[in-house]
Structure 1
Amino acid sequence: MPEGDTVWQTARRLHTALAGRVLTRSDLRVPRFATADLTGRPVLDVTPRGKHLLTRIDGGLTLHSHLRMDGSWQVYAPGEHWRGGPSHQIRAILGNAEAVAVGYRLPVLALIRTADESDVVGHLGPDLLGPDWDPQEAERRLTADPARPLGEALLDQRNLAGIGNVYKSELAFLATVTPWLPVGELGPEVPARLVATAQRLLEANKDRPDRRTTTTRAGRRIPLYVYGREGRPCLRCGTPVRKDESGGRITYWCPGCQQGPTP
């Protein structure tokens, strides 16, 4: 599932290609909105909200999309070959005289009134990359249920919006606790530090579309501490990194560095 920084990068590409230009092509390939015609309307902006994308269109309309596990938006020049997947996977096409944006495998695609955006994103917690970022509120939400495992609390977009499995695993490693440790058992200063680190990492990586990095040593060739490194030595202690897929969520951790319960 794309993390908040990936969604932010997608929004920026779409905004650059579409905002301020009149749509000359509009094709929404979902039954409920298949007859909607947005041609002739300017795109006002494309805004990310956590892992949601809001494409605002003149006339009080917003095209709401979510990438979930493997959805994507690709931007092409006129006449360029589309490489995002077979045509039957296309769910949306928005084009103008200079660019065309093609949405592939989008599990969520809805045309809503801009005034109703809160219906689809109003439940989200503070956005790690948004103008509403509020670390104190994010910490309050993260720690509201002391019995909840840290990994679950970090993934809950109602607490803070933008964290996926990669950052969940990396943040738990940086806090030297396992993702299954109850939030209430974290040290008194750990939640605030986790929230601050999460925001810092996403902010640093939003301009790195090809190489997300959480490791901090200068010249580090290995970009992530534990995610995707099953069986390889921990960069801190050398213990082989482990992987768990229970509950449908992928988690990586170091049994040597991270204290707390494990599956």
Structure 2
Amino acid sequence: MPEGDTVFRAADRLRRGLAGKMLTHSDFRVPSLATVDLSGYTVTAVRSRGKHLLIDVTDPEGGHQVSIHSHLKMEGIWIVAPLGTRWRRPAHQARIILRTAAHEAVGFALGILELLDDPDTALDYLGPDLLGEDWDAAEAVRRIESEPDRPIGDALLDQRLMAGVGNEYRSELCFLRGVLPGTPVRDVDVAPMVDLAHRMLWANRLRTARTTTGDTRGDARVWVYGRRGRLCRRCATPIERGFLATDTEERVIYWCPRCQK
């Protein structure tokens, strides 16, 4: 799954290419939306909500407003480029094509693609958005602490409690706070964990190369994620890799057995 900063950057690219512009062409390549034509609609806003992306459009008379809602899931990506630019992904992966007079935006392999008349209500189940203008740290802490028996590594991934953290940030947050991912929420100082999550995602929101160490070199950007068997950058103990069960599946996790207790 993408991290919240990945979706934030995608929204930023789409905003710069589409916002305020009229759509000259739209092509939905999913059966449920195959007959939809948004040509003539104006893109009024592009925004991210946690890991969800919304493109708000209005018809020429201004009477009908709808949001194009997408979720990248595992393989999805939005690419925005000047008209005529050759696609960098196979055409059969294209799920939606939006064109203005100057740009083309293509969503490839999107996990979710739908139209919402009331997106704010549809996504109301999400917790506070770490990169949202209405970020509420106290509410995020309250929601996480309301499930004291839950492993912190599981709670951090629950978008209903706090929106934006994915698997990479989960591992890095637990390492930096010195906490094993399986530790129950009741035994974790949640407020500093939430504050660190906000600062980390905010610092990376527009970076092309995410870093949690402060070092942007390719082999030095993370503390533990993806580093199984390699030495901890702090104590030189080999990093371990395992799985932590969530409500629906087991997700991979990385940790240092010495730095995290």
TM bracket (short chain): over 0.9
Structure 1 residue matching 2:23: 3-state secondary structure? coil
Distance 1:220 1:56 in 2: 36
Counterpart residue number, 1:248: 250
Partner of residue 20, structure 1: 20
2:70 corresponding residue in structure 1: 65
- Partner secondary structure for residue 234 of structure 2: coil
1:238 is matched with which residue?
Answer: 236
1:228 CA drift (Å): 1.1
Unaligned runs of 5+ in 1: none
Deviation, 1:220, is 10
Deviates more, 1:61-70 or 1:215-224: 215-224
**For the residues of structure 1 that align with 2:17 and 2:169, how far apart are their CA atoms?**
29
Match of 1:3 in 2: 3
Change (3 A) 1:88 1:203: same
1:156 paired to 2:158: yes
Report the Cα offset of residue 32 of structure 1.
1.1
1:45, distance to aligned residue in structure 2 (A): 1.0
Q: In terms of mean alpha carbon deviation, does 19-28 or 239-248 score higher?
A: 239-248
Q: 1:217 to 1:70 in 2, by over 3 A?
A: closer
1:208 pairs with 2:207: yes
> 3-state DSSP class of the match of 2:156?
helix
Q: Distance in 1 between matches of 2:116 and 2:138?
A: 31
Equivalent AA in structure 1 for residue 17 of structure 2: A
The Cα shift of 1:219 comes to 9.0
Partner residue, 1:91: 95
Cα deviation code 1:158-198 (max 9, x no counterpart): 11100000110000001101111111112xxx211001000
Equivalence for 2:226:
228
Identity %: 50
Q: Distance in 1 between matches of 2:68 and 2:214?
A: 38
TM-score under structure 2 length normalisation: 0.93
Give the aligned partner of residue 61 of structure 2. Answer: none
RMSD across aligned positions (CA)? 1.6
Structure 2 vs 1, CA of residues 81 and 129 (structure 1 numbering), >3 Å: closer, same or farther? same
What's the secondary structure of 1:127's corresponding residue?
coil
TM-superposition CA deviations, 1:130-161 (whole Å, max 9, x none): 01101100000111111000011000001110
Distance in 2 of aligned mates of 1:245 and 1:23: 45
Partners of 1:123 and 1:47 in 2: CA distance: 17
Which stretches of structure 1, 4 residues or more, deviate above 6 A after TM superposition? 217-221
Displacement after TM superposition at 1:248 (Å): 3.5
Equivalences for residues 67-216 of structure 1 within 5 A: 67-83=72-88, 85-113=89-117, 116-186=118-188, 190-209=189-208, 211-216=209-214
CA distance 1:208–1:217, shift in 2 (3 Å): closer
Distance across 2 between alignment mates of 1:82 and 1:28: 17
CA separation of 1:61 and 1:166: change in aligned 2, threshold 3 A: same
Rounded to whole Å, the distance in 2 between the matches of 1:237 and 1:112 is 50
- Whether the 8 Å contact between 2:5 and 2:205 is mirrored in structure 1 is yes
Q: Which residue of 2 aligns with 1:38?
A: 38
Question: Is the CA contact (8 Å cut-off) linking 2:215 and 2:221 kept in structure 1?
Answer: no
Give the TM-score, by structure 1 length.
0.92
Cα distance between partner residues in 1 of 2:253 and 2:112 = 25
Q: Which letter maps to 2:168?
A: V
Aligned length: 252
